[in-house]
Amino acid sequence: MIRSPQLYKVLIVEDDEPIRNLYVMKLVQAGYKTFSAQNGIIGLRLAESEMPDLILLDLRMPVMNGDEMLAKLRSTDWGSSMRVIILTNISKSEAPHSLRFLNVDRYVTKVHHTPSQIADMVREVLS
């Protein structure tokens, strides 16, 4: 049985406010309950308190970057199997080597995908 999007929670961790707001808007339109954070520290706190079904995670952010947040998330019982899509402008070949061991569902380069395509990806990963 496929769950309705309204039953899924998505956390968007992105430091660029206009981009973050675009993804929030598109996912809310698609029916998802969304939360957002501008850095990894806030993102990690929200992940623990809200237990999202999926996290869209940027890599380059101030305060705590995405790969550091992901490593901390994976080191917890509650975050070890949380679904994560890396959503960044860093090419996969330039990504931190540690990401290869942190179990992500997808690695997506933002400039090559529209918010609608990202919403489609969210639906695919959560189905």
Alpha-carbon distance of 55 to 37, in angstroms, equals 11
Q: Enumerate the domain spans of the chain.
A: 5-126
Residue type, 65: N
Query: Fold for domain 5-126?
Result: Rossmann fold (3.40.50)
pLDDT tens-place string over residues 20-54? 999 999 999 999 999 999 999 999 999 999 999 99
The answer to whether residues 29 and 53 touch, using CB atoms and an 8 Å cutoff, is no
Residue type, 9: K
pLDDT tens-place string over residues 50-105? 999 999 999 888 899 888 999 999 999 999 999 999 988 766 666 555 656 567 88
